[in-house]
Amino acid sequence: MDSPSSSFTQAQSSVMPSATQEVSTPVSEAWWKEASVYQIYPSSFKDSNGDGIGDIPGVIEKLDYFKNLGVDIVWLCPVYPSPQVDMGYDVADYCDIDPQYGTMADVERLIEGLHSRGLKLLMDLVVNHTSDQHKWFRESKSSKDSPYRDWYIWRKPRYDENGERQPPNNWSSYFGGSAWEYDSASDEYYLHLFAKEQPDLNWEHAPVRDAVHDIIRFWLDKGVDGFRMDVINFISKQDGLPDATVKIPGAKFQWGDEHYACGPRLHEYLQDIGKILKEYNAFSVGEMPAVQDPKEVIKSVGESRAAISDAPSVDMDHGDGGKFSPHKWEMQDLKKIVNKWQTFMYKNKGWNALYLENHDQARTVSRWASDKPAYRALSAKMLSTFLCFQSGTVFVYQGQELGMANMPADWEMTEHRDLETLNHWEELKQTTGSDAAVLEIARKEYQLKSRDHARTPVQWDSSTNAGFSAATPWIRVNDDYKEWNAAAQVAKPDSVFEHWKSALALRKELKDIIVYGDFELLDEENDDVFAYARSNGVQKVVVVCNFRDREIPWSPPVDLHSGKVLLANNPEVNLSQKTVNLRPFEAFVCQLH
């Protein structure tokens, strides 16, 4: 699960930046601030054995691809044994590998292959909850007297005025319905913030924390460089588990994040983990959903904690009724979010993680820009430019560097595999009596926001199944793969891949300005153009992005006449006039002299 706000934590490292800053800033240098991260969703990355599912040997085949792109860290989504209810985020054993992905020996080969290329590996660690098939939960559920009973959060039912049994509180699950599942054998409910097959661990219970620490040490001893920790700020729940404030009138269940997002003991738990990471010179990326207040985030991402957090822009098109309710995003929303997090983190010695796509977010060319043939490459390059020159550590999701798009609008619901989407669809049919108009609105929202869009197989070439697999893939390959694929882009001038490669390289070349400099939003009131400046006090770089599919006359608030264009998605950028006519989805990076 991924959502609005994430953080990146780093234990002390012996690796130091290769250059010193020309001008002192509030920001201390660290190698991970200069790094970029490539996220792999293994089921959809590359299938090596012809079973239609991506695997670890498939990742190993592409090690030189990562090196060519210019990333520094590879983040591997869960590959542990799992019933796959939520695509591996329901873990049944933290210290083994699911056979569909490979073996422990494959992981060891992956680590060796990355390290030999100067790259690092992040493993995904999912410890807010387990699978209901994990031995801990099976033991916990077996008896109220089980020594594992307190490893999970069990509560007695409540009863309404009619004597009907009700869940212990009104919290909703992120996947629909109540966050509580009734167990008739013990007449108690267990908490699951996600699927009912994903029971939440009870972090108040010391043996749970000890077990998680053992898991962390197990993988660090294998040579893993760190972890991406799933919804890590949900692990501390408020005492008493009180009812959520009613924010959706008429709904039986309500979002309860006020009672578990950054709970009372979170920072204590994170400090314990940080001590272990420090022993190994390891680092972690911690996902922090449902946190909007920068002051709360800085507790986890201040300089003393060496951590980073991303701006919560990915949910700005969510309506009042949740992710799949309509809401048109506005440029002013994006500007306020980016400006808030960029400036606050810089002034308070925090750090941003920068991402637009991941395994839980739809493709940005389709969602924020345009995937029409005339504009798709321009859109993908514009979004890359927009992201890569902000302050923070850049995250690239597989296929994003190729401009991969959402699934076609004419695909049927039968093509979907995502639990979140399918549960919402079934719940909507039941609650509306399959109202055609309501279902059509939902279909349009799925077309923009379903997690399945990020999970179609990576398009490697124009051969059968886009070179992903010799077998029928577990999820359908996008119909556009013959034109949009890696083979058609790598080493091809003006491709989306090469633009990403250039952007990542330029970011490192100008790290004194881009990585460590300050941020200034330009032309704040403009609803079409997102422009910002980065400066280290001596040098300044201006980034300009037209988010529209039409030409926009733009009057720069700074003098660009003497500027040198370092990167652009259109040839011949003309800065000689007072008004710059920005072409559809035009973007460029300009260094002022």
Give residue 120's identity as a one-letter amino acid code: K
How far apart (Å, rounded) are the C-alpha atoms in residues 54 and 334?
34
- Phi–psi pair at 466, nearest 5 degrees: 60, 25
Q: How far is CA 323 from CA 4, 257, 365, 400, in A?
A: 11, 15, 18, 22
Residues assigned a catalytic role:
230, 287
Pairing of strands 6-10, 307-310: antiparallel
Give residue 476's identity as a one-letter amino acid code: R
Question: 537: helix, coil or strand?
Answer: coil
Residues in the chain: 593
First to last CA, the chain: 44
Rg of the chain in Å (alpha carbons)? 24
CA angle at residue 147 from 141 to 151, to 5 degrees? 65
Give residue 489's identity as a one-letter amino acid code: Q
Q: Among residues 108, 101, 59, which one has the least CA distance to residue 79? A: 101
How far apart (Å, rounded) are the C-alpha atoms in residues 134 and 393?
34
How far apart (Å, rounded) are the C-alpha atoms in residues 584 and 69?
26
Alpha-helical runs (H) found in 172-225? 206-222
CB atoms within 10 A of CB 439: 15
